[in-house]
Amino acid sequence: MVEGFLENTTIIDYSDKNYQKTKFLSISQVNLTPHENGTKWINTYGLAYQSDFKAIILNNKLDDFLIKLLMEDDHATKVILLEDLMFVAIKVLKTEGKTLEDEQMIFMVSPHFLWSIQEKPGDYFNWIRERLEGHKGIVRKKKADYLLYLIIEAIIDNYQETYLKHEEISDSKLNATHIKPTPEFTSLVESRKQELFSFKKAAISLRDMIVKLEKAKIKGIDVKYFSEIKEQTNNLITNIDFELQELESKINLIFSIQGHRLNEVMKTLTILSVIFIPLTFLAGIYGMNFQNMPELKSENGYFILLGVMVFVTVLAVWYFKRKKWF
- Concatenating the DSSP letter of every residue in 45-78 gives E-S--HHHHHHHHHHTT--THHHHHHH-S---SE
Contact (Cβ atoms closer than 8 angstroms) between residue 34 and residue 113: yes
DSSP category for residue 124: S
> Both 111 and 8 in a single domain?
yes
> Both 215 and 268 in a single domain?
no
Q: How far apart are CA 30 and CA 9, in angstroms?
A: 10
pTM: 0.76
Q: How far apart are CA 77 and CA 140, in angstroms?
A: 28
Tell me which of 235, 255, 275 is where a domain ends.
255
Burial-class residue 303 by CB neighbours within 10 Å (0-12, 13-18, 19+). Answer: exposed
Q: Whats the size of the chain, residue-wise?
A: 326
Which residues constitute the domain of residue 297?
263-322
Residue 95 is part of a domain; what is its CATH number? 3.30.460.20
Reported as a single tens digit per residue, the pLDDT across 135-191 is 898 999 898 989 999 999 999 988 888 888 877 777 667 665 666 667 777 788 888
Look over the chain and give the mean of its residue pLDDT values, rounded to a whole number: 84
> Both 19 and 119 in a single domain?
yes
Tell me which of 207, 223, 255 is where a domain ends.
255
Residues 6+ apart with CB under 8 A from 33: 40, 60, 112, 113
Residue 252 — very low, low, confident or very high, per pLDDT cuts 50/70/90? Answer: confident
Residues 6+ apart with CB under 8 A from 96: 122
Reported as a single tens digit per residue, the pLDDT across 287-323 is 777 677 776 677 777 787 788 888 888 888 888 888 7
Task: Catalogue the E-assigned strands of the chain.
Answer: 9-14, 19-22, 39-45, 78-81, 86-94, 101-109, 113-118
Higher pLDDT, 59 or 185: 59
